Amino acid sequence: MINTYFHHLTRPLLVLIFFIIFLLLAFPASTFSQVTFERYYGGFDDDIGRCVRQTADDGYIICGYTRSFGASDYDAYVIRTDELGDTLWSKVIGGAGFDASYSVVITPDGGFLLCGTYLPPGEPNADIWLIRLNADGDTLWTRHNYSTTQAAAYSVQLMPSGGFIVTGTREDAAGAGHMFLMATDETGSQLWAKDYPFWAISGGNAVVSTNDDGFLICGYIDTYNPSWNRNLGMVKTNDQGDTLWTRQFGGPSYEMGWSVCESTSGGYLAAGYTTGFGAPTGDAYIVKTTDQGVMEWQTHFGKTGLDIVFDIKNTDDLNYIATGISADQGSVFEEAWLFKMDLSGDTIWSHSFGGPRKSYGYSAMQTSDAGYVFCGSTDASGSNVYDVVLIKTSADGVITSNDKTHNTATHLRIYPNPTQGLVSIEVPSGSERVVVTSLMAQIIFEEPVANRQKLTLDLCELPSGLYLVRVINRTNARVEKLVIR
């Protein structure tokens, strides 16, 4: 029956059918349906994206910090998007001091855990900070009071046994910073914490859980032999944070470790930058070790200016994807950098984004459609103000569309709220009017806000009660409650 069917087909049609079958077998469906885009998020001041993860619905969660929407200085900034990078929700969390989130993981229930630094009101020192959100971005809990000295958490991972493992930098009583490692349960309660003091200062920038149920910290260790220099440092521990080995890499210069992963070929891969090896302005620096921390190879590369790798991860095809910054010598404009390299450290492809303005890539990963995504910050407007940037590329690391959008429509900040009458309203870019009404829709205040992003209103003569603030743009309106006491 089948032979009879094919017998009646013409040769050109047969060739076409077999060619289509070949394409379907040779290339996964995702190859033909990869979404690419470039998205900006933020307001009138600096907004920085430090970490991105893909969610189960193929959207993204980004964490970082903002000065556009914060209470005073920087606050933690969390953005949840769909698969096209369009904002589903965003949250600003913090107090009156410098508060920031640097790393996020997706929890088993579909929520999120962020780590960073928090300056409690009236306290002289910032503390390690954990923030637990549900899938809708609602805060379930926040924790600090982990340290009595200045401290910050820069990387968090899920522990195989449940709970979270966190690394960063914590000062000792003399004010010298050291790497630390802290384990908590699912509620953020500390299980144990270890500091790793060296002769001089050190710090942890990244942590991973290892296949032997231990942990590996990557960061920096300062030395003096015969003069001061800083090395890329790695500390391997068991499941209780006890040191198994410590390694330092680099030369009589300045090296920094920003990221680490377990290699699919065995051992570990650490990445950062170096000012040694004939690269005084700074080259990307990558070190491959055995599972005992013995160097197998190291490489440095980049343009003629400052080049840094901030994040590196494994890919499904047994290679690596990395992001950072790259610049030509003498240029004041660093570009966000995304590159792919093989298991031997040879570059497969490399692309820069954001030029000629300053742009930074801080976190990257492979996506479910075999493309790549990275986040960072960019001075897209050229006004020396940074927005969070999220870039989704194809499997070859390129953007195949001109889809560039600034996502600010969800941001509206009213403070103080409740108020005694004097209130400030910060509105998103592109807003056209601000309207204050009673609950009965009586207009109390209305004013156009073209090219303005902040209003200060005196509503002291209004009676105490609940009012509505509407910020209107060309396509929609955002409404928030205002309480006057």
Share of the chain above pLDDT 70, in %: 87
Domain end, chosen from 407, 425, 455, is at: 407
In this predicted structure, the answer to whether residue 437 has a pLDDT above a threshold of 50 is yes
Say which amino acid occupies 293: G
In this predicted structure, the answer to whether residue 9 has a pLDDT above a threshold of 60 is no
Global pTM value:
0.80
In a domain, 332, yes or no: yes
In a domain, 11, yes or no: no
In a domain, 92, yes or no: yes
Q: 334 pLDDT band (50/70/90 cuts)?
A: confident
Are 354 and 452 members of one domain?
A: no
For residue 305 the two structure tokens come to: 């200016």
pLDDT tens readout for residues 265-322: 999 999 999 999 888 889 999 999 999 999 999 999 999 899 999 999 999 999 999 9
What CATH number should be reported for the domain holding residue 467? 2.60.40.3080
pLDDT tens readout for residues 352-372: 998 667 899 999 999 999 999
Give the number of domains in the chain.
2
pLDDT at 5: 41
Sign of the dihedral defined by the CA atoms of residues 116, 121, 123, 124, in that order: positive
What is the DSSP annotation of 53-109?
Answer: EE-TTS-EEEEEEESSSSSSS-EEEEEEE-TTS-EEEEEEE--SS--EEEEEEE-TT
∠ CA 146-95-180 to the nearest 5 degrees?
25
Q: Which of 421, 424, 416, 428 is nearest to 471 (CA)?
A: 428
Region 467-480 average pLDDT: 73
Are 204 and 126 members of one domain?
A: yes
pLDDT tens readout for residues 277-287: 888 889 999 99
pLDDT at 101: 98
Domain end, chosen from 349, 377, 407, is at: 407
Number of neighbouring beta carbons within 10 Å of residue 323:
30
pLDDT tens readout for residues 53-68: 999 999 999 999 999 8
In this predicted structure, the answer to whether residue 475 has a pLDDT above a threshold of 60 is no
In angstroms, the Cα distances linking 249 to 26, 288, 293, 350 are: 42, 10, 10, 25
Whole-angstrom distance, CA of residue 106 vs CA of residue 458: 43
Query: Domain containing 442: what range?
Result: 413-484
In this predicted structure, the answer to whether residue 196 has a pLDDT above a threshold of 50 is yes
Tell me phi and psi for residue 7, to 5 degrees: -65, -30
Domain end, chosen from 407, 438, 457, is at: 407
Are 96 and 244 members of one domain?
A: yes
In this predicted structure, the answer to whether residue 2 has a pLDDT above a threshold of 50 is no
